Structure 1
């Protein structure tokens, strides 16, 4: 029996520049580093930092405080344009050669 891998789609992809639109980090921008499909969440570089206190593993080593990025729900971010400094919704259109392209609706700027 084969198990199906469930990958739902999101409006963001790894490497996209996004702006947080709600919550404690509202207004901050960063690049998407990881997508958690089951949680419908993403991890954004430098956003939603959580501190973790780590014990020393070896004798003579000091404990430390490590900051890591926590997940943000996908609905709390929008794609961001650095050229126009504006956030926008995502749209899809076809080029003349028939390839499907993602673009920002406000600025008509295509996304890689």
Structure 2
């Protein structure tokens, strides 16, 4: 019986990135990535895709009421913003050698600058 491979998905956005929504109701809006769900191909973005959640009264919140909450957006609907050109950009990968070792970094297609620190 073959074993499952635990391959980590290579996504074009990471937690903390500034991104721009390229399709959907919030098209053109920008926000910071709060959380990434690689298994579902979705990201949670600050202030984007807000939905109303109805909250029952509880001990902590005796008033209850309706609260706004961010909902995840599919990863294909967002692009990272390049800090140099201030435009949404597609992402490539490049090998960077450092101190005898190396690593893959994300590179903006618009300007060629690295998106990873």
TMscore range, shorter length: 0.7 to 0.9
Residue of structure 1 equivalent to 2:26: 25
Distance in 2 between the 1:101 and 1:3 partners? 27
Residue of structure 2 equivalent to 1:108: 112
Unaligned runs of 5+ in 2: none
**Shift in Å at residue 111 of structure 1?**
1.2
The Cα offsets for residues 9-34 of structure 1, whole Å up to 9 and x where unpaired, read as 32111111110000000000111111
- The reply to whether residue 70 of structure 1 matches residue 71 of structure 2 is yes
Unaligned runs of 5+ in 1: none
Give the root-mean-square deviation of aligned CA atoms.
2.2
**Shift in Å at residue 3 of structure 1?**
7.8
Corresponding residue SS for 1:100:
strand
Corresponding residue SS for 1:99:
strand
Distance in 2 between the 1:43 and 1:25 partners? 13
TM-score, length basis structure 2 = 0.80
Corresponding residue SS for 1:61:
coil
Q: 1:99 aligns with which of 98, 103, 106?
A: 103
Distance in 2 between the 1:50 and 1:23 partners? 14
TM-score, length basis structure 1 = 0.84
